Amino acid sequence: MHDDGAALKDGVALRDAPRQRGLVGLLLASVFAVATCGLIYELLAGTIASYLLGDSVTQFSTIIGTYLFAMGVGSWCSRYVRGGEMALFIRIELLIALLGGFSAAGLFALFPQVEQFRVILYLLVFAIGGLVGLEIPLLMRILRDRFAFAETVSNVLTFDYVGSLVASILFPLLLVPHLGLVRTGMMFGLINAAIAVGLLLAIRRERPMPGELATAFAVIAALLAGFVLADRIQRWSEVGVYGEPVIYATSTPYQRIVLTRHNDDLRLYLNGNLQFSSRDEYRYHEALVQPAMGRVADPVNVLILGGGDGLAAREVFRYPSVRKVTLVDLDPAMTRLFTLTGPLAELNRHSLSDPRMHVVNADAFRWVRETDERYDVVIVDFPDPVDFSVGKLYTESFYRMLRNHLAPGAMAVVQSTSPLVARRSFWTIAATLEAAGFETRSYHVYVPSFGEWGYTLAALRPIPPAANLLTGNRFLSADTEEHLFDFPPDMARRQETPNRLDNQLLVRLFAEEWAPYEN
């Protein structure tokens, strides 16, 4: 029966036209919010998995696939909903606000605590994807009585796709650099909860839901507290990951930078991977720089690729003949940190602010392709090839471009991971350099923080057997350098296939060899 011609749909009276227009606007905003928040949670999971597990291509591919599959499952399950769509939608929004809002904080906290972290990761992604997939059909049902069918589908899909675009742009450009991962999750959880509150208030006359309204405000209070305490939450979780007091941490568009200190030991981690320990980094950097520099007579112009901490540059500036150093590092936050922070600048002896230093924040692959300058020494100090974005810097294509930047008689050196733990990866790098036309000599050094670590000298001429080393080194001498080129049987040369841009076999090989050593 009808009362004065007014109809009830989902407990909402249709006779109040202005209020109904407001409700319709709120529902369309909900479509936008569902798409935006859902994609943000997906990107958060992929980013955190890349930080903690490595290989960003694999992590994002599997997480996106899991999320989309879960959306399909959620959409399929919507067929079993028989009435009460608005109430169910509101409850789902609150559940997504909790799961998605606390997803980043929870994943960081659980990583050091549980062995089956991947299981929890994918269950969380599946749960959020399934709930988002259930919401879209519910919204279409709720809106079908406000619009014609074709218009309903058009409106829902339009707001859904626009929301996805907004999320994909905001996430790398604004959210991660300025809010960080934990606070980003909390903020979008608040958006989900705010949508639920708005709908609860819009329908309160026709269908009061006091329990859900109280729950919504409790969720908002929890998310606000999490937003305010986000830095403490992430620092606490990272102490569990690193086992050391975290003194600095930030997320940039390119990586997670964490500094820890325990007594006099200062350590840098990028995406969870140790880059140096101040107690023994001198071993690594003397061995990286001096065998190449010492095989060139009076090097003047030096190129450093990577090495944004300035520690390789510190060793380079010890050579009195050096007049210019160009350092190319992708992340300006990294070079700025090691230029302006007192203890870090002291560690690298203010090398990044030396008047002879020219810092370039750019993608090394593109920069090497576009520049035409030649150098007496090229020091390649990239992170290990844990994913394809870094792996491209270990390919034959990159090394062929690098050849064009070697002056006559020049020498290059490439950090080449551990010849003991990742023996095949180590010799793959040498094989790739040789395929690009270089003469090579490989060597290794023991660095207590890393274990056995390896490097590859590369030149367009036969490599001299000995180097003119600096005096005053803490580790490297003529005697110790001679033994660095000797490889015992468990690290001896293997014949490997060069790493090419179209296959990136080094990334997969590296992951396989290091997998048994993961926490």
Within-domain flag for 3: no
Where is 453: in which H helix or E strand?
Answer: strand 451-459
| 87 and 228 part of one domain | yes
Residue 489: give its domain's CATH number.
Answer: 3.40.50.150
CA 206 centroid distance within chain: 47
Residue 442 CB contacts under 8 Å (≥ 6 apart), including other chains: 416, 419, 426, 427, 430, 454, 455, 456, 457, 485, 487, 493
| 79 and 130 part of one domain | yes
Within-domain flag for 369: yes
The 10s digit of each residue's pLDDT in 336-349 is 999 999 999 999 99
| 227 and 247 part of one domain | no
| 218 and 284 part of one domain | no
The last residue of a domain, from among 274, 295, 319:
274
- Whether residue 382 contacts residue 486, with contact meaning beta carbons closer than 8 Å, is answered with no
Average pLDDT for consecutive 10-residue bins of the chain (519 residues)?
A: 39 50 75 86 88 74 92 91 88 94 88 82 94 87 68 71 84 82 91 91 83 93 91 72 79 84 89 88 96 96 96 97 97 95 95 97 94 96 88 94 95 97 96 96 95 96 92 92 94 94 89 80
Can you tell me the distance from the alpha carbon of 15 to that of 144, in angstroms, rounded to the nearest whole number? 17
The last residue of a domain, from among 216, 238, 260:
238
Within-domain flag for 305: yes
Predicted pLDDT of residue 14: 40
Within-domain flag for 334: yes
- Whether residue 297 contacts residue 469, with contact meaning beta carbons closer than 8 Å, is answered with no
Predicted pLDDT of residue 153: 66
| 347 and 454 part of one domain | yes
What is the count of structural domains for the chain?
A: 3
| 182 and 303 part of one domain | no
| 290 and 407 part of one domain | yes
Can you tell me the distance from the alpha carbon of 10 to that of 341, in angstroms, rounded to the nearest whole number? 59
Give the type of residue at 433: L
| 498 and 398 part of one domain | yes
| Cα angle, residue 274 at apex, residues 268 and 276 outer, rounded to 5° | 55
Predicted pLDDT of residue 336: 96
Can you tell me the distance from the alpha carbon of 33 to that of 223, in angstroms, rounded to the nearest whole number? 17
The 10s digit of each residue's pLDDT in 441-494 is 999 999 999 899 999 999 999 999 999 999 999 999 998 999 999 999 999 999
SS3 content of the chain, % helix, strand, coil (to 5): 55, 15, 30
Burial class (CB in 10 A: 0-12, 13-18, 19+), 210: exposed
Strand 375-381 and strand 301-306: pairing? parallel
Predicted pLDDT of residue 148: 60
| 373 and 497 part of one domain | yes
Of 231, 249, 284, 292, the C-alpha closest to 51 is 249
| 177 and 252 part of one domain | no
Predicted pLDDT of residue 333: 93
Within-domain flag for 311: yes
| 255 and 307 part of one domain | no
Predicted pLDDT of residue 204: 82
Predicted pLDDT of residue 13: 42
| 199 and 78 part of one domain | yes
**pTM of the shown model:** 0.74
The last residue of a domain, from among 274, 290, 324:
274
Active-site hit among 55, 329, 376, 381: 381
Predicted pLDDT of residue 19: 57
Query: Is 486 considered catalytic here?
Result: no
Within-domain flag for 430: yes
Residue 89: give its domain's CATH number.
Answer: 1.20.1250
Domain that holds residue 155: 8-238
Within-domain flag for 426: yes
The 10s digit of each residue's pLDDT in 373-400 is 999 999 999 999 988 888 999 999 999 9
| Cα angle, residue 347 at apex, residues 342 and 351 outer, rounded to 5° | 85
Within-domain flag for 2: no
